[in-house]
Chain A
Amino acid sequence: MKRLFPLFAILTAALLSFALYESLIVAPVDQLQGNVYRILYYHASSAWTAFILFGINFVASVVYLVRRNEKADVLAFVTAEVGVVFCTVVLVTGPLWARPVWGIWWTWDWRLTSTFVLWLIYVSYLLLRRFSSSGQTPVLAAALAVFGALDIPLVYFSIWFFRTQHPQPVIGDGGYMDPGMLHVLLLNWLAFSCLAFMVCWSRYNLEVLKRELEEAQALESLLETGGAR
């Protein structure tokens, strides 16, 4: 596994560079928006990646609640953390695009609002992990993750009831997108998913090491106090 990581990192870097080249140079210019639209390649790919990570977080939390497997807990923690980072990218690139195209930085439209609420839910999850006292954290965090995941459909459904200003989805729902643009978007998504996977991988190893270290330190101090007696 350790040898695989650098290889995968190089692959991801190459893929990201190629995707950047494709999205800035190869992809055609948008008829209405000009070059501004190119931020979509980062915006949408980050959004999909974040959703996948939050999905993994939910599954890992349920697995932890059922099996009490510590690996599942580490995975849930790591995916939530990286997911929040990608969700932040979505929330930052959105206004950057909206300012020239819509003329406003932000509007309380349903997609923007619900993505923002999604971000809030997972930030509160990370806060809980940070503030809770050691031993019980995994169970409490897993319970909160389940609540958060149950909440997401309700959030989307309730906020959807407001009128929307966001451009309609370009994949699925009958929207039209130039095939040249679509393949660049999918390529970017692949590159971003690889990046997310790589970050999660190294973060996972770091977290495991951190826990092992904490355990060893606790054991050592226990032995020391025992020896002093």
Chain B
Amino acid sequence: MTLTAHTSDVSASQNMAAPNQGTGNNFKSNRPLPPISGFRTTVASLVKDIRLEWRSKDAINSMLFFSLLVVVVFSFSFDPTAQESRRIAGGLIWVAFLFAAIVALNQTWAREMRNQVLDAYRVSPAPANSLFLSKAIGNFLFVLLLEAVMTPLFIMFYQLRALGPAWQLVPIAVLGTWAIVINGTFFASISLRTRSREIMLPLLLFPISIPALLAMVEGTTSILSGELTARFWIALLLAYDVVFTMASLLLFETVLHAE
């Protein structure tokens, strides 16, 4: 694997450097290792995460089952007729996805605690932000997959039909998911260092996510009911994403190396 390659010379030379060297035992040579590319590190770490998830399916299964439970439980709390659903569905859907996303976010870094993998990341010369981006993109893909599977179910169970421009739901979903995931990944790395870390993540994430959540819920509701335009909410989500992506990238290295 690319990331660990630079921290342990032997595995590096055996696994990846050999084809270009021609000699076959290059770990004796004194040539300096090439600088680590941020992009390649991101891709390598992302591929590793996706492969792990593909094999275990821990996060995606628990997220799917959790949001399915939310669908059922909420159906008792109000009468799911088409008109009533249209008013409530925006909030219902996003709260379900937010809670489900916590499952994936919580295990983002917990996975790296086993065998001191995170410590290895800390001492490796790989850029911290590529690690962060790969985690964020991984979570983004998992939550998008969840949404792709669950949305048809929501539509079916609650008889939803958009009266406004339905295509606008796509930017809301993409920007909203990124908003949850970028902050969630960052705060998961913070809550990792606390006692009772699994409880800490939602406590940190929810207050900060309120503007994004409000934008997602209100945007979705206004599209479903067709009464108002969702443009303002999409713009707000975009601003939120830009601000917090920048902030996370600026501060992640500091947080990762905090001792």
Tell me the A residues contacting B by CB distance below 8 Å.
65, 117, 120-121, 123-124, 127-128, 131-133, 135-136, 139-140, 143-144, 146-148, 150-151, 154-155, 157-159, 161
The answer to whether B204 touches A128, judged by C-beta atoms less than 8 angstroms apart, is: yes
> In the complex the two chains form, what is the Cα distance from A214 to B192 in whole Å?
24
Contact of A147 among B200, B206, B244 (CB under 8 A): B244
Q: Name the B residues within 8 Å of A123 (CB-CB).
A: 207
Contact of A155 among B187, B200, B204, B211 (CB under 8 A): B211
9 pairs, CB–CB < 8 Å, chain A vs chain B? A120-B206, A124-B208, A127-B204, A128-B190, A128-B194, A128-B204, A136-B258, A146-B247, A148-B207
Q: When A124-B207, A140-B258 are in contact, do A131 and B236 touch as well, CB less than 8 Å?
A: no
Q: When A131-B196, A146-B251, A158-B215 are in contact, do A140 and B207 touch as well, CB less than 8 Å?
A: no
Q: Name the A residues within 8 Å of B130 (CB-CB).
A: none
The answer to whether A144 touches B190, judged by C-beta atoms less than 8 angstroms apart, is: yes
Main secondary structure of the interface of A (DSSP, over half): helix
Q: Name the B residues within 8 Å of A144 (CB-CB).
A: 187, 190, 204
Contact of A150 among B203, B244, B254 (CB under 8 A): B244
Number of B interface residues in the complex (CB < 8 A) = 31
Cβ-based interface call for B114 (8 A):
no
Contact of B254 among A121, A124, A128, A139 (CB under 8 A): A139
Contact of B195 among A131, A135, A151 (CB under 8 A): A131
Q: Name the A residues within 8 Å of B66 (CB-CB).
A: none
Q: Which of B200, B207, B239 has the most A CB atoms < 10 Å from its CB?
A: B207
* Binary interface encoding of chain B residues 186-210 relative to chain A, with 1 for a CB under 8 A from any of its CBs, else 0: 1100100111100010011011101
* Shortest Cβ distance from A139 into B: residue: B258
